[in-house]
Structure 1
Amino acid sequence: MIDASKGMDVPLPSVLLVDDEPNILGALNRTLRREGYRLLTASDGNQALALMQNEPIDLVVSDERMPGMDGAELFGHIQQHWPDCRRLMLTGHADLSSTIRAINEGHVYRYIAKPWNDDELRLTIRQALDHQQAERERRRLEALTQEQNRELTSLNAYLEERVRARTGELQQLADMLELAQSELKHSYVTATQVFSTLINQRLPSQLQTNTQVRDLIKAFAQTHQCDDELTHSLLMAASLYNLGKMTWSDRLLATPSDALTNVDRETYRCYPVTGEGLLMSLDHLEETARIIRHHHERWNGSGYPDRLKGEQIPYGARLLGLAVDFIELQRGMVLQRRLPRDDALKLLRKLGGRIYDPELCEAFVTLCIEQAPDLGVDGKVVKSLDTRHLEPGMVLVRDLHSESGMLLLHEGKQLTRDLIERLIRFEETEDTHYVLWVKLPDDDAE
């Protein structure tokens, strides 16, 4: 047995030559000794298999016909135990059955006929080993890829778990912040209610308008589906809009705005700015402060303090201005006489397009006519209904007079089915039509 590469440091491809004829083995050794292989030899199949038990073999070159175990049987054993080893068959016979058996059982890489061409033999072995090396590299890379995929899968699972854990932490933090924000907003609402109460303590009872203004704003926001932030700012502004009046004298507080002297008028016109200034330091009331500052601006630009015109006026300020003027007209705080509710609504509608946003004014007047939130009593809804839509249990909140001025029903009267039917018959007899302002029963209150 010859080991031509013994003593070399770099592992070389191991090639096992198997033939029962020593001269053939010698010829093969001479042909391949300069190719840089580690050459080993065996004289039969059994010796070759014993050698392969102890030596790593990359390629076997075997004669087809040998005593005992022929080449096809040898290659069958090699295929079973060392499938990665490449196999080349040397044959000098045209035995078709042996050829088929070697192909089926031994998976022969290639046949080489005797006598062989040295260059062809060297090229064939080189190609076989190159193919083997490429296949090994493919398997190595495939195994590496699978291992990396397993690692990536494991890493992804770890990252997903970390993301879930972090997401849970962030959600907890967000919930805590939302709770803190909610508590802070609640604190501002509570403080606003306190301020509103203090304002009312300062004002005569007939000049305490905050509650009615707030009811109007709330009803309008609900009916027209204003967003939550705007609604919140508007309700705060409705509660605090006259905060700037707290520095006024009792005389100025009781004087209608159209009866003010020039000096008093300048003081009067400063109260929206004063109110804004008192709220500006509170971060969550910035929009509220802006609404209060501009609620006396006018659609035609004649208002104050900044003479804004048209849509330059913040939407919330336009709405607050309508609600404030509507209530204060009825309280005698604008003109030197109190306007009846219906007359105040007519005046608002008349001034739409000059003093008020025309579209907003029309929507506001319609709300007041159909729902009358400013007439609410003890938090209950008041509506304007004709006799056909009345229900037993409703309570009148305004006296009902006939067209001749005769009192038909007084404020506070609770309607019954019989009373409603008599009203309908009276309408038919008089050929007229009545609209009643009623408070809804407790179980229908919104």
Structure 2
Amino acid sequence: MEEQLPTTMTYKPKLLLVDDEESILNSLRRLLRGQPYEVLLATSGAQALEIMAQQPIDLVMSDARMPNMDGATLLAYIHQHYPDTTRIMLTGYADPSAIIKAINEGQIHRYISKPWHDEEMLLTLRQSLAYQHSERERLRLVQEAWDQNEKLKQLNATLEKHVAARTSELQQTADMLDLAYEELKRSYVTGTEVFSLLANLRLPPAKQTNRQIIELVRVYCKLHGLDEGTSRDLTMAAALYNIGKLSWTDSMMSTPSDLLHHNDRERYRGYPKQSESLLMTLDPMKDAARLILHHQERWDGSGFPDRLKGAAIPFGSRLLKLAVDFIELQRGLILERQMNSDEALVYIRQYAGRLYDPELVEDFIQVCAAYLSDVTLADPTVKVLTTRDLVAGMILARNLNADNGMLLLNAGKVLNGPLVEKLIAFEAMESAKYSIFVKVPEEVEGALLETS
């Protein structure tokens, strides 16, 4: 099947025929008459180069032996300066050196011997031009693909910039929303504290607890580096832990929990659940509400409302119970007798492992010492003794008050034998049992050791 030129060509390929014999040129021109080519003729290499300088040529077929510039030299020059032009050598002599030069330097496409066969000549030209067209199309497609890739790269770069810019905008929006949400959470903290102050108005000043519990919890969070979310939840829980008590009578509000009668005691046990129910509808309060729900659970599982035990009690609830009981013991809301801060801590230490997390108690005592200047229990040199354990030479570490609040002895008082006897007698007369916070000088400590 004969090779056909592509039908998509919009122009006639230009052929330049070069030979110093005009008869050869005329024969070739007659052969190509009627073919879809534009045929140009040149009788020398110099003339051929003049023509090529004036217009693009698709194919050059040159005779090998010509005066001044032979065909191999001409085709080599064309290869160097017009590499897209197809080159064919036409010769009637077996000249190996000329053929080798044409192949090596002229990079010829085909070699045709004289005399030629017309059909073979036409087929060779069609195949050469078809190959040239397909190669040009391949190069065009390669270039087009490269151009498209470059455009795609530019589009991708532009898209990446747009995406980066949009991502930055979205990130800024998200950051603003986060800030707004954090500000909302902080506003909730402030709001809960304000509301807790209003709730405290139900109690006389001597019975109010929330402000001190909030401050104590904050000191703990700060000293232990708790994260902002945990600190926020604990602060809100401390502010509103007793909101479920607002429906109580004034009398019940100020009565120590140990003195409540049966019906009131059941109502008392329900206040954590009531507090949690009031707060659960507020999304930022949900975690704080859970801490409030379980802050009356006990380490040994005897607490309420769910009788949780040990580590099953949320950490924040265990800490909140310590803070609540520490302050409420001093306000007379748990026991009938109001304790001082050291007595409250002695009580908490006594019930470590039963009511309170034993691993938190000593740590909590240190926090209380950092929070309150009158806490002496954290000092390792301070001992808590009964009146019958006192000996002369011991020094009171804090004021000693009777159960009715009357000051008996000032902190710093050095005890002597008669004073100790008076304290024992007064304690028996009052049917009381005092906890005495004393410092023991080294010489007294040494005497005690020798006696023992």
* Equivalences for residues 261-272 of structure 1 within 5 A: 261-272=261-272
Q: CA deviation at 1:262?
A: 1.9
Partner of 2:249: 249
Q: Secondary structure at the match of 1:327?
A: helix
* Equivalences for residues 276-425 of structure 1 within 5 A: 276-299=276-299, 301-308=301-308, 313-338=313-338, 340-351=343-354, 355-356=355-356, 361-373=357-369, 376-377=372-373, 384-386=378-380, 404=391, 408=395, 411=398
Given that 1:14 and 1:37 are in contact with CA atoms closer than 8 Å, whether structure 2 keeps it comes out as no
Q: Secondary structure at the match of 1:179?
A: helix
Partner of 1:152: 152
Instruction: Give the whole-Å Cα distance in 2 for the aligned partners of 1:69 and 1:411.
Output: 125
Instruction: Give the whole-Å Cα distance in 2 for the aligned partners of 1:112 and 1:54.
Output: 27
Partner of 2:418: none
Partner of 1:17: 17
Q: CA deviation at 1:367?
A: 0.8
Q: Please tell me whether residue 431 in structure 1 is matched to residue 418 in structure 2.
A: no
Gaps of 5+ in 2: 400-409, 413-437
Partner of 1:44: 43
Given that 1:219 and 1:373 are in contact with CA atoms closer than 8 Å, whether structure 2 keeps it comes out as no
Q: Secondary structure at the match of 1:297?
A: coil
Instruction: Give the whole-Å Cα distance in 2 for the aligned partners of 1:32 and 1:382.
Output: 122
CA, structure 1 residues 50+305, in 2 after alignment: closer, same or farther (shift >3 Å)?
A: same
Q: CA deviation at 1:272?
A: 1.9
Given that 1:196 and 1:210 are in contact with CA atoms closer than 8 Å, whether structure 2 keeps it comes out as yes
Q: CA deviation at 1:232?
A: 0.9
**What TM-score does the superposition give when structure 1 sets the normalisation length?**
0.73
Given that 2:297 and 2:307 are in contact with CA atoms closer than 8 Å, whether structure 1 keeps it comes out as yes
Given that 1:293 and 1:305 are in contact with CA atoms closer than 8 Å, whether structure 2 keeps it comes out as yes
Q: Secondary structure at the match of 2:112?
A: strand
* Equivalences for residues 118-197 of structure 1 within 5 A: 121=121, 124-125=124-125, 128-197=128-197
* Equivalences for residues 4-83 of structure 1 within 5 A: 10-11=10-11, 13-25=13-25, 28=28, 37-38=36-37, 40-45=39-44, 46-52=46-52, 56-67=56-67, 69-83=69-83
Partner of 1:234: 234
Q: CA deviation at 1:85?
A: 0.3
Partner deviation per Cα, 1:204-232 (whole Å, 9 max, x = no partner)? 33322224433443344345543321221
Q: CA deviation at 1:299?
A: 4.7
Partner of 1:390: none
Partner deviation per Cα, 1:105-147 (whole Å, 9 max, x = no partner)? 5333343333446676566545543543343234223322332
Identical counterparts, % of pairs = 47
Structure 1 counterpart of 2:445, which letter? E
Given that 2:16 and 2:39 are in contact with CA atoms closer than 8 Å, whether structure 1 keeps it comes out as yes
CA, structure 1 residues 284+248, in 2 after alignment: closer, same or farther (shift >3 Å)?
A: same
Partner deviation per Cα, 1:294-322 (whole Å, 9 max, x = no partner)? 22234555433344555554332233223
Given that 1:330 and 1:344 are in contact with CA atoms closer than 8 Å, whether structure 2 keeps it comes out as no
Structure 1 counterpart of 2:321, which letter? G
Gaps of 5+ in 1: 388-395, 416-422, 434-446
Instruction: Give the whole-Å Cα distance in 2 for the aligned partners of 1:33 and 1:286.
Output: 98
Given that 1:372 and 1:382 are in contact with CA atoms closer than 8 Å, whether structure 2 keeps it comes out as no
Structure 2 counterpart of 1:364, which letter? L
Instruction: Give the whole-Å Cα distance in 1 for the aligned partners of 2:319 and 2:266.
Output: 24
Partner deviation per Cα, 1:235-273 (whole Å, 9 max, x = no partner)? 110121112222222211222222211221232223223
Q: Which 10-residue stretch deviates more, 176-185 or 99-108?
A: 99-108
Given that 2:19 and 2:25 are in contact with CA atoms closer than 8 Å, whether structure 1 keeps it comes out as yes
Given that 2:16 and 2:60 are in contact with CA atoms closer than 8 Å, whether structure 1 keeps it comes out as yes
Instruction: Give the whole-Å Cα distance in 1 for the aligned partners of 2:78 and 2:445.
Output: 120
CA, structure 1 residues 426+315, in 2 after alignment: closer, same or farther (shift >3 Å)?
A: closer
Instruction: Give the whole-Å Cα distance in 1 for the aligned partners of 2:392 and 2:250.
Output: 38
Q: Secondary structure at the match of 1:90?
A: strand
Q: CA deviation at 1:198?
A: 1.9
Q: CA deviation at 1:86?
A: 0.9
Q: CA deviation at 1:286?
A: 1.8
Given that 2:326 and 2:348 are in contact with CA atoms closer than 8 Å, whether structure 1 keeps it comes out as yes
Q: Please tell me whether residue 208 in structure 1 is matched to residue 208 in structure 2.
A: yes
Q: How many residues align?
A: 401
Given that 1:257 and 1:334 are in contact with CA atoms closer than 8 Å, whether structure 2 keeps it comes out as yes
Partner of 2:435: none
Given that 1:44 and 1:69 are in contact with CA atoms closer than 8 Å, whether structure 2 keeps it comes out as no
Structure 1 counterpart of 2:350, which letter? L
Q: Secondary structure at the match of 1:17?
A: strand
Q: Secondary structure at the match of 1:272?
A: helix
Structure 2 counterpart of 1:384, which letter? A
Given that 1:88 and 1:111 are in contact with CA atoms closer than 8 Å, whether structure 2 keeps it comes out as yes
Instruction: Give the whole-Å Cα distance in 2 for the aligned partners of 1:432 and 1:16.
Output: 131
In angstroms, what is the RMSD of aligned CA positions? Answer: 4.1
Q: Which 10-residue stretch deviates more, 231-240 or 212-221?
A: 212-221
Partner deviation per Cα, 1:171-193 (whole Å, 9 max, x = no partner)? 43234324323432332222122
Q: CA deviation at 1:98?
A: 3.9
